[in-house]
Structure 1
Amino acid sequence: MDAYSGLLAAYMAAMVGMVIFAVLAYVLTAFFMSKVFAKAGVHGTWRAWVPVYNFMAFFKLGDLSPWLVLYCVGGAVLLSWIGIGFIFSLALFLGGGVAAYRIGMKLGKETGFVAFWLIPVLWLGIVAFNKDQWNTAVAPAQWAGNGFLADRTVWEGVPVQTTTGPALPGTPAGADA
């Protein structure tokens, strides 16, 4: 039994370390997200502290349907037992990148800034503490007419993307964005 007690102690120490790391990552993410929500004009930054709902609000700010988050989380949980749940986790990460891109546009960031989304806590930290102001006049997303991706939900206290805005660069006058 002595040979296994050292291994068990190392395993338990690793588990405690992972839990501490996860809690710290969650607290940092929620704190940074609350700052981003405040910039965007979300009433009640408490939304950033509610698991899953915080990413639903983040997707909404990024002009994606917030229900995509539930689809991805549900798919990851339900299909993980057959080994393909990670595909939904990857889809959630990529959707977060698209939302981060749109949020970056509304904050006046360059297209390449979305590369920081590879480390979401870093992206959120930069966006949370820079001096950029939220721009509501950004043109609607290209998928705004798509029934699956488009955001048609209305939540009290969360800004809604306007359906009109300046034309995207390279879009002919009078064409729908």
Structure 2
Amino acid sequence: MTDRKDKIKDYDIMLQKHIDKKDFIKINRTFKDREENISGFMLAITRQFILLQVDNEFMLDGYAIIPKDRFDSIRCNNYDKTFKRIYKEEGLLDTQYGFNQSLSLKSWHELFSDLKKLDYHVVIECEDKDDPDFVIGPIKRVTKDKVGVQYYDPTGKLDDKPTTLSYDDITIIKFGDRYSTTFKRHLRKSK
């Protein structure tokens, strides 16, 4: 058991070095033989989660939270160092890097409660299911083991009732991106 704890501690030290150095990284993830990778800057780690500021074609576009047990590996090679250099030369690391709000990464319940208080619309994915879930919308209910999100479709129509997702199924949460923050202003209730 001590060997496992030492490996986890060593891994966390390596992850913290990426944060301290503001490394651009790629998180490799595989679900049901599909790759679902994501890149950006790791901002924080806890026992349970990784907070990532997401890259979208040399723009910082929101944040992602990934459970620490829901990814395969982290890459930081010459490609990623080139991306960091470009972000730095474009001045984006000085002007857009970071997350300046209080967000608990201790438990699912605290995390979703904070995101709800901050009034973020979230994208929640459960990619490891035979029929993966993709839910976008405002957080309506947070319980000990589930979250309820009022889904909206691509026409901006809100569902009448929240979609409930079990924390055990969640593989990634995204928030603060241009898509959801813009769409949030143009939603309509179902008739």
> Same fold by TM-score, threshold 0.5 exceeded?
no
TM-score by length of 1: 0.27
| Greater strand share, structure number | 2
| Greater helix share, structure number | 1
Larger radius of gyration: 1
With a CA cutoff of 8 Å and minimum separation of 6, indicate the structure with the bigger relative contact order: 1
TM-score by length of 2: 0.26
